[in-house]
């Protein structure tokens, strides 16, 4: 009876959410952390008083599973997506699930950071570089340093099998003719390990278990500010980045509000909000959080979302062949 009551409560709660979401002026599906999502929505509502906004937060994989189930049922709830990476949105674009919108704010962005047809726009830069323990004998400046004898058995990184940022990182580096999959083979031959996500890498290097790690920028930079014995390097070749793009669903019933949201997160005000949360704004001419180098000194390596989407299965297979399929 207790189980039945719990199930009924869950159904009623879900129904209430669906009803309230449909009644809202805008529904956002996002993979931002809860506090970040709330801050983003609060900023948007302050800039657009009177608009009622509902938001649903989960990891990108789960958000996409929810969205696709709704599409299959003929009732997609989301108006706007603000999720981890451009590859996911490129897939939706190719499936004709997104609405093209040419935001006037795009003029303040590098062309490489948004879809030329206006289907999605990057909102921030979460780059992947090298962290090292301050007791390490070598101070790396290049990706290739991790394959040197000084780093043998001392390198750890997240696995593309479990981390979306790690997959985009691998696809970015292997698309560089000077690196390619031979670089990952050299890392494996040098005793590098690849498993789990970025948090495990941070812990391993900060504790001294490993000397070097491949990791997203803000983690070691924040930990260094708290006194952890770590440094973060933007390698000479450049860095990969996930850019938390924003897009409008093709079937939105709230097109005007959705366009206002896109304009807001791309605007100087919206970008200031991401800066306060500790991220590098994607918009040109913006400052960076404490501990980061100047925005114009951060070199982004080329990345093509369409090519990455096309090659994802093959790239995951190649990575598994090199490092094993444990993730």
- In this predicted model, what pLDDT tens digit does every residue of 175-226 receive, in sequence order? 999 999 999 999 999 999 999 999 999 999 999 999 999 999 999 999 999 9
DSSP 246-304: EEEETT-S-HHHHHHHHHHHHSHHHHHHHHHTT-EESSTT----TTSPPGGG-PBPP--
* Residue 249 in this model has a pLDDT that exceeds 70: yes
* Residue 326 in this model has a pLDDT that exceeds 90: no
157 or 325, higher pLDDT: 157
Looking at residue 111, the DSSP 8-state letter turns out to be: G
Angle between helices 255-266 and 34-47 (to 10 degrees): 110
**Where do the structural domains in the chain lie, given as residue ranges?**
2-123+244-288, 125-241+302-323
Q: Which CATH class is domain 125-241+302-323?
A: alpha beta
Per DSSP, helices labelled H in 131-175 are 164-174
How confident is the model over 57-93, as pLDDT tens digits?
Answer: 998 889 999 999 999 999 999 999 999 999 999 999 9
Burial classification of residue 260, based on how many CB atoms lie within 10 Å of its CB (0-12 exposed, 13-18 middle, 19 or more buried) = middle
- Among residues 89, 127, 322, 100, the alpha carbon closest in space to that of 233 is found at 127
Residue 298 has φ and ψ, to the nearest 5°, of -85, 115
For the domain spanning 2-123+244-288, the CATH number is 3.40.190.10
Give the pLDDT score at 327. Answer: 57
How confident is the model over 80-129, as pLDDT tens digits?
Answer: 999 999 999 999 999 999 999 999 999 999 999 999 999 999 999 999 99
């Amino acid at each position: 009876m207790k189980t039945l009551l719990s199930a009924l409560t869950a159904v009623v709660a879900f129904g209430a959410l669906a009803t309230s979401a449909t009644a809202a002026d805008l529904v956002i599906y996002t993979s931002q952390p809860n506090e970040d999502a709330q801050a983003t929505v609060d900023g948007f509502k302050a800039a657009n008083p009177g608009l009622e906004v509902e938001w649903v937060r989960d990891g990108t994989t789960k958000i996409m599973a929810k969205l696709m189930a709704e599409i299959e049922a003929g009732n997609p709830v989301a108006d706007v997506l603000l999720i981890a990476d451009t590859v996911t949105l490129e897939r939706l674009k190719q499936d004709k699930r997104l609405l093209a919108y040419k935001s006037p704010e795009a003029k303040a962005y590098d062309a490489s950071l948004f879809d030329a047809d206006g289907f999605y726009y990057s909102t921030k830069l979460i780059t992947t570089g090298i962290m090292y323990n301050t007791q390490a004998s070598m101070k790396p400046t290049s990706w290739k340093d991790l394959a040197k004898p000084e780093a043998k058995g001392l390198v750890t990184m997240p696995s593309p099998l479990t981390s979306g940022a790690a997959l985009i990182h691998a696809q970015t580096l292997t698309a560089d003719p000077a690196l390619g999959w031979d670089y990952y083979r050299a890392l494996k031959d040098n005793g590098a390990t690849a498993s789990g996500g970025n948090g495990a890498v941070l812990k391993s290097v900060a504790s001294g278990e490993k000397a070097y790690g491949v990791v997203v920028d803000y983690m070691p930079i924040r930990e260094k500010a708290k006194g952890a014995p770590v440094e973060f390097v933007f390698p000479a070749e450049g860095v990969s980045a996930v850019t938390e793009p924003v897009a409008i669903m093709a079937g939105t019933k709230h097109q005007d509000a959705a366009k206002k949201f896109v304009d807001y997160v791309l605007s100087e005000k919206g970008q200031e909000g991401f800066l306060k949360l500790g991220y590098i704004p994607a918009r040109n001419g913006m400052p960076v959080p404490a501990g980061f180098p100047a925005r114009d000194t951060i070199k982004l390596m080329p990345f093509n979302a369409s090519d990455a989407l096309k090659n994802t299965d093959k790239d995951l297979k190649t990575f598994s062949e090199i490092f094993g399929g444990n993730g």
